[in-house]
Amino acid sequence: MRALVFTGPSTVEMDDVAEPEVGEDDVLVHVRSAGICGSELHGVRTPGFRVPPLVMGHEFAGVTDDGVPVTVNPILSCGTCDLCRDGLRQVCRERRIIGVHLPGAFAERVAVPRSALHKLPEEMSWEAAAVVEPAANAVHAWRLADVAPGARVGVIGAGAIGLVCVLAALTEDTASIAVADRSPERRRMASLLGAATVGGELSGEFDVVLDAVGTGETHEQSVRLLRPGGVAIWLGLADAGAGFDATMLVRTEKRVLGSFAYTDDEFARAAELVGGWGLGWTASYPLESGAEIFTDLMRGGSHPVKAILRP
């Protein structure tokens, strides 16, 4: 079958690969849509967490052999440890991720555990289905923030994760949402989706700041702009530097929480939400164009915000 393969640093290539091995507890999913994630762009530039050769793709949907439309929770856990028993499968010490540790969905077909399937409504578009996984990240981040109605919310970064954070926050009773991004086009999209203010940087004071970029600079901004007692949620993974004076947390009782993924309930909630969201910031391309699209985004291209590959 055809697949987009991560073959080496900064290199992805279309190639013919072996058909998936379908185990006794697995289901073969015929991929209909697979989103390119910013973490994959970063991972190809700086291999480590993802090791080539690898078929990536963890944001995806498709149909089973009997035609059932499904999306897939790509996080696989042991299911028996203390964390899994407490409903925290996403931080299981033994977790594996489809598209990272196992072959993913930048391909015509992928084998996944039956337990990872989530049935979709027949009327959901494949573009919306591919956004369920990133949307689940936003639902989780918002729940971690645990903010009161009327909270002042800042979002740093209007890429796909930043925009779904805006949409998730708008689902709640927030007073105002400010979005910062260097791209005028992405700022325009955030405004169209409902952000009250947009700009190159955040200004003012916030109850919660969601950092969907993850550099030392944005980490520093996310903490500095919080009110005393506020919370910064870090979702971005651009670099490892913390970037701020930690004594600020002590003196003002600000909090910083990491947000890696989502619980099963949050994944299901995301599947309920995305069908009603504006998704004009996504664009679909044939899988055969995957190497060109992926490479352009990896080299700094900003359009589209979310590229979705369609086998």
Give dist(CA 201, CA 222) in Å, integer.
Answer: 11
CA-CA distance, 311 to 220, in Å (whole number)?
41
65: tokens are 């052999």
In 3D space, the residue among 115, 52, 120, 40 whose CA is nearest the CA of residue 293 turns out to be: 40
pLDDT per residue over 89-137, tens digit each? Answer: 999 999 999 999 999 999 999 999 999 999 999 899 999 999 999 999 9
pLDDT score at 245: 82
pLDDT in tens, 227-280: 999 999 999 988 877 887 888 888 999 999 999 999 999 999 999 999 999 999
Residues 6+ apart with CB under 8 A from 109: 1, 19, 20, 28, 29, 30, 31
Share the mean pLDDT of the chain: 95
Domain 134-258, what fold?
A: Rossmann fold (3.40.50)
The bridge status of strand 226-234 relative to strand 206-211 is parallel
- Give tens-digit pLDDT for 170-184: 987 676 899 999 999
76, amino acid identity? L
In the chain, what percentage of residues exceed pLDDT 70?
99
Q: Please give the average per-residue pLDDT across 191-198, as a whole number.
A: 96
Question: ∠ at Cα 310 (308, 96), nearest 5°?
Answer: 70
Assign domain 2-131+279-310 to a CATH class.
alpha beta
Residue spans per domain, the chain:
2-131+279-310, 134-258
Comparing CA positions, the residue from 40, 45, 74 lying closest to residue 290 is 40
Please provide the distance, in angstroms rounded to a whole number, between the alpha carbons at the two ends of the chain: 10
Single pTM value for the model: 0.95
DSSP 100-165: TTB--SSBSEEEEEGGGEEE--TT--HHHHHTHHHHHHHHHHHHHH-PPTT-EEEEE--SHHHHHH
